[in-house]
Amino acid sequence: MKIFIFCTLLLGASLLASGQSANGDMNGKGLSFIPDYTFKGSALTGWKQLGNADWHVKNGELTGTAKQKTSEGLLMFDQSFQDIGINTFIKITGDCEAGILFRAEKNGDGMKAVLVSISRDSSAAYSVTINAQGKVLSREKLRPAGGMIRIAPPLDPANPVRTGGYPAARGNQPALPNVRPQTAFVPGEWNQLEFIFDMNLLRGYINDGSGPGGGADDVTFGPVGLYVKGSGEVRFKDFKYKDLAVRYLPEEQTSARFRVQQISDMYYSWSAASADFNNDGIQDIVAGPYIYYGPDYTKYREIYPGIALSPTKDFTEVNCQYAFDFNGDGWTDVFIGPPFGRLYMNPKGESRRWDVYDVIPGNINSEVTLFTDIDGDNKPELVYGTNSAGTGVLKYAKFNPADPTKPWNTYTVSESGYFMAHGIGAGDINGDGRIDILNPNGWWEQPEHLSDAGWTYHPAPFGRYGHRVGGIGGSVMAVYDVNGDKLNDVVTSLNAHGFGLAWYEQKRDAQGKISFIRHMIMDDYSTKNAGDVTFSELHGSTLADVDGDGITDFIVGKRYFSHLDTYLDPDPFGPPLLYWYRTVRNPAAPGGAEFIPELIHNRSGAGSDLHAADLNNDGLIDIISSTNRGTFIFWNKQTKK
What's the pLDDT tens digit per position in 229-260? 999 999 999 999 999 999 999 999 999 999 99
Torsion sign across C-alpha atoms 269, 273, 279, 281: positive
Please check whether residues 191 and 295 belong to one and the same domain. Answer: no
Is the pLDDT at 219 greater than 80? The verdict is yes
Torsion sign across C-alpha atoms 606, 611, 615, 621: positive
CATH code, domain with 64: 2.60.120.560
4 domain residue, yes or no: no
What is the pLDDT, as a whole number, of residue 640? 57
Nearest to 259 by CA among 636, 511, 2, 551: 636
Is the pLDDT at 137 greater than 80? The verdict is yes
Q: Give how far Cα 552 sits from Cα of 345, 482, 595, 636, Å.
A: 33, 8, 11, 15
513-522 and 15-17 beta bridge pairing: parallel
Please check whether residues 413 and 558 belong to one and the same domain. Answer: yes
DSSP 414: S
Please check whether residues 454 and 385 belong to one and the same domain. Answer: yes
Average pLDDT for 292-304: 99
Give the range among 256-270, 344-358, 384-398, 587-601 with minimum mean pLDDT. Answer: 384-398
C-alpha 307/C-alpha 318 separation (Å) is 12
More confident call, 23 vs 68: 68
437 domain residue, yes or no: yes
What is the pLDDT, as a whole number, of residue 474? 97
What's the pLDDT tens digit per position in 149-177? 999 999 887 776 655 555 555 556 799 99
C-alpha 111/C-alpha 134 separation (Å) is 9
Which amino acid belongs to residue 132?
Answer: A
C-alpha 526/C-alpha 353 separation (Å) is 50
What is the pLDDT, as a whole number, of residue 21? 39
Is the pLDDT at 1 greater than 90? The verdict is no
Please check whether residues 63 and 84 belong to one and the same domain. Answer: yes
Instruction: Give the DSSP H/E element, type plus range, for residue 348.
Output: none
C-alpha 144/C-alpha 157 separation (Å) is 10
Please check whether residues 170 and 259 belong to one and the same domain. Answer: no
Please check whether residues 106 and 169 belong to one and the same domain. Answer: yes
1 domain residue, yes or no: no
Is the pLDDT at 14 greater than 80? The verdict is no
> What's the pLDDT band for 435 if we cut at 50, 70, 90?
very high
Please check whether residues 277 and 136 belong to one and the same domain. Answer: no
> What's the pLDDT band for 526 if we cut at 50, 70, 90?
very high
Is the pLDDT at 11 greater than 70? The verdict is no
What is the pLDDT, as a whole number, of residue 115? 99
Total number of domains constituting the chain: 2
What is the pLDDT, as a whole number, of residue 139? 98
Please check whether residues 190 and 300 belong to one and the same domain. Answer: no
What is the pLDDT, as a whole number, of residue 173? 76
What's the pLDDT tens digit per position in 41-63? 999 999 999 999 999 999 999 99
DSSP 142: P
Last residue of a domain, one of 223, 243, 263: 243
What is the pLDDT, as a whole number, of residue 518? 98
Is the pLDDT at 572 greater than 90? The verdict is yes
> What's the pLDDT band for 15 if we cut at 50, 70, 90?
very low
Is the pLDDT at 13 greater than 50? The verdict is no
What is the pLDDT, as a whole number, of residue 549? 98
Q: Is the pTM of this model over 0.85?
A: yes
**Mean of the per-residue pLDDT values of the chain:** 93
Average pLDDT for 257-279: 99
What's the pLDDT tens digit per position in 408-425? 999 999 999 999 999 999
C-alpha 429/C-alpha 38 separation (Å) is 45
Please check whether residues 109 and 203 belong to one and the same domain. Answer: yes
Residue 612: domain span? 15-28+248-636
Please check whether residues 176 and 324 belong to one and the same domain. Answer: no
What is the pLDDT, as a whole number, of residue 7? 37
What is the pLDDT, as a whole number, of residue 622? 99
**CA-based diameter of the chain, in Å?**
86
What is the pLDDT, as a whole number, of residue 483? 99
CATH code, domain with 530: 2.130.10.10
- What is the DSSP code string of 95-106? T-EEEEEEEEEE
The residues, ordered by sequence, that sit 6+ positions from 74 with a Cβ below 8 Å of its Cβ are 49, 50, 51, 53, 101, 130, 134, 225, 226, 227
Is the pLDDT at 35 greater than 50? The verdict is yes
* 349: Cα separation from own chain's centroid: 39
Is the pLDDT at 331 greater than 60? The verdict is yes
Last residue of a domain, one of 195, 220, 243: 243
Is the pLDDT at 12 greater than 70? The verdict is no
6 domain residue, yes or no: no
Please check whether residues 198 and 273 belong to one and the same domain. Answer: no
Is the pLDDT at 503 greater than 60? The verdict is yes
Is the pLDDT at 195 greater than 80? The verdict is yes
C-alpha 269/C-alpha 625 separation (Å) is 9
**Helix residue ranges per DSSP H, 476-582:** none
263 domain residue, yes or no: yes
Do 33 and 242 form a contact (C-beta atoms < 8 A)? yes
Do 476 and 424 form a contact (C-beta atoms < 8 A)? yes
525 domain residue, yes or no: yes
Last residue of a domain, one of 243, 258, 275: 243
Q: Give how far Cα 340 sits from Cα of 317, 384, 386, Å.
A: 8, 12, 11
8 domain residue, yes or no: no
Compute, in degrees rounded to 10, the torsion defined by CA atoms 461, 464, 469, 474. -80
Please check whether residues 228 and 280 belong to one and the same domain. Answer: no
